């Protein structure tokens, strides 16, 4: 599952987090927990017929069925099935991970944190637009993570080389890292957990190179470290920390092709990195393949629209966004949907085509849906004000900027709105 002008600018995301990380960590290290998140936005489920090693439970038909409900964002259906599986395997950490996984992403979706256009937003980085977390959900996620961690450690006390326990512990760490980074903005804690996840999964691969699922987290680590500035790589190399972009991409490609429960998530991480490497068509091909594979997954369809628009294919992006909106009107087509995200994407696409009146209409439609979060409402209203300024409709623009301020005076969008009330937005 989440940008300047709310386009999917993965390169900008990397730069933004690198800039912020220099205040505490060397450039690039700050990315690790967030890239673990992007590697888990769209999970892949058990792949059949793969000659790779994995926890036997991952190929259990009941687990396969539960993941199928998750693929279409039927969170309640998936959770009910995984809870049953956990009850049948009460001491198995991977069974606890399943429940943790769905619980976490159901909550992230509720909070609008699976919208990838969110993450280049300056407010996300500097602490504006704080997320109002649900204490009950926080406690539940922490309890599940702790339980999976303890269960894995119990198994590892009996056999330190238990690859299934190591993988389950690493997965629990990566999921908790997502919650800490995205909801609580605890980046130091998130980084620590993400690095721990990498260490667990590297150990899995050291013991069993055919445990392909472990290549996802390790591949992300390899790519990120390999992307660091040369002088810094020399420095951390003294401490035994090494990485390679080529190795990372290769590991993600293998996990995407042969992974049992990380196939789709590895392709998603690969899509992000290909964008950064200046290979946008390959990234778009991956997104379109995922959307074709899971057409009732609202987020996959939305990702295609955002990627098309960010690559200058605005007319196609408009068509895809319109298609999402039309599909959402079909009863039960999308088990989970935040239609305001599709309207926001539609507004961006119209804006890129300089169809400003249509853009303003789409932004305002998204702003006032009953499911629209406060943060996204402000983004919609701010964008509407900007396009009204571009149409030289200054009175309407000022009214939208005031609506942004009224919707959250102490927010990044309100800061921008006050700026544009003083001087009209010009697109620069």
For residue 378, being part of any structural domain is answered with no
* CA gap 173, 231 in Å, rounded: 30
For residue 353, being part of any structural domain is answered with no
Q: What are phi and psi of 343, to 5 degrees?
A: -65, -35
Each as own residue / partner, the long-range contacts of residues 421-426 (CB below 8 Å, 24 or more positions apart, any chain) are 424/389, 424/394, 424/397, 425/385, 425/386, 425/389, 425/390, 425/397, 426/389, 426/390
**Can you give the pLDDT at residue 58?**
96
Question: Number of structural domains, the chain?
Answer: 1
**Average pLDDT rounded to a whole number, residues 158-172:** 97
For 134, other C-beta atoms within 10 Å of its C-beta total 14
Contact by Cβ (8 Å): 97, 213: no
For residue 335, being part of any structural domain is answered with no
121 falls in which pLDDT band (50, 70, 90)?
very low
Q: Which residues contact 150 (CB under 8 A, 6 or more apart)?
A: none
Detail the DSSP E strand segments found in 72-166. none
- The structure tokens listed for 167 are 């993988």
For residue 244, being part of any structural domain is answered with yes
pTM of the model: 0.81
For residue 25, being part of any structural domain is answered with yes
51 falls in which pLDDT band (50, 70, 90)?
confident
pLDDT for 107 beyond 90: yes
Q: What is the pLDDT of residues 313-334, one digit of tens each?
A: 999 999 999 999 999 999 999 9
Q: What is the pLDDT of residues 384-409, one digit of tens each?
A: 999 999 999 999 999 999 999 999 99
Q: What is the pLDDT of residues 53-72, one digit of tens each?
A: 999 999 999 999 999 999 88
- Average pLDDT over the chain reads 85
Domain hosting 94: range is 1-278
* CA gap 425, 428 in Å, rounded: 8
Helix (H) or strand (E) holding 98: helix 93-110
For residue 342, being part of any structural domain is answered with no
**Can you give the pLDDT at residue 275?**
80
For residue 170, being part of any structural domain is answered with yes
Contact by Cβ (8 Å): 383, 363: yes
Residue with tokens 């001491």: 91
For residue 374, being part of any structural domain is answered with no
Q: What is the pLDDT of residues 332-382, one digit of tens each?
A: 999 999 999 999 999 999 999 999 999 999 999 999 999 898 889 999 999
**Can you give the pLDDT at residue 5?**
29
- The structure tokens listed for 361 are 């209409």
């Amino acid at each position: 599952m989440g940008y300047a002008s709310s386009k999917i600018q993965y390169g900008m995301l990397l730069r933004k987090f690198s800039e912020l990380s220099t205040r505490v960590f060397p450039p690039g290290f700050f990315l690790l927990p967030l890239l673990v998140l992007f590697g888990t936005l769209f999970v892949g489920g058990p792949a059949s017929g793969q000659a790779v090693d994995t926890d036997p439970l991952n190929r259990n038909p009941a687990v396969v069925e539960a993941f199928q409900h998750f693929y279409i964002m039927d969170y309640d259906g998936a959770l009910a099935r995984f809870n049953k599986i956990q009850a049948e395997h009460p001491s198995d950490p991977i069974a606890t991970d399943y429940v943790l996984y769905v619980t976490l992403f159901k909550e992230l979706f509720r909070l609008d944190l699976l919208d990838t256009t969110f993450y280049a937003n300056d407010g996300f980085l500097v602490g504006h637009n704080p997320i109002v977390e649900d204490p009950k959900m926080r406690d539940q996620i922490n309890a599940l993570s702790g339980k999976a961690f303890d269960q894995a450690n119990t198994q590892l006390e009996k056999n330190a080389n238990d690859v299934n326990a190591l993988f389950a512990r690493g997965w629990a760490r990566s999921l908790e890292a997502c919650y800490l980074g995205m909801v609580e903005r605890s980046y130091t804690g998130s980084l620590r957990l993400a690095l721990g996840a990498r260490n667990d999964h590297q150990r899995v691969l050291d013991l069993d190179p055919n445990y392909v699922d472990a290549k996802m987290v390790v591949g992300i680590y390899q790519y990120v470290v390999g992307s660091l500035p040369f002088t810094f790589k020399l420095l951390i190399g003294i401490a035994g920390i090494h990485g390679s972009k080529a190795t990372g991409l290769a590991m993600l490609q293998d996990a995407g092709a042969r992974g049992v429960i990380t196939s789709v998530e590895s392709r998603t991480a690969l899509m992000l990195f290909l964008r950064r490497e200046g290979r946008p068509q390959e990234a778009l091909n991956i997104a379109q393949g995922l959307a074709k594979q899971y057409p009732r997954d609202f987020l996959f369809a939305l990702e295609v629209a955002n990627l098309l628009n960010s690559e200058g294919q605005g007319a196609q992006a408009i068509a895809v966004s319109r298609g999402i909106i039309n599909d959402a009107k079909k009863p039960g087509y999308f088990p989970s949907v935040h239609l305001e995200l599709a309207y926001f994407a539609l507004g961006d696409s119209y804006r890129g085509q300089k169809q400003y009146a249509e853009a303003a209409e789409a932004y305002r439609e998204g702003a006032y849906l009953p499911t629209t979060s406060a943060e996204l409402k402000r983004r919609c209203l701010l964008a509407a004000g900007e396009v009204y300024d571009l149409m030289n409709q200054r009175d309407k623009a000022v009214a939208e900027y005031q609506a942004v301020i009224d919707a959250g005076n102490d927010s990044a969008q309100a800061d921008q709105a006050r700026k544009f009330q003083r001087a009209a937005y010009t697109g620069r």
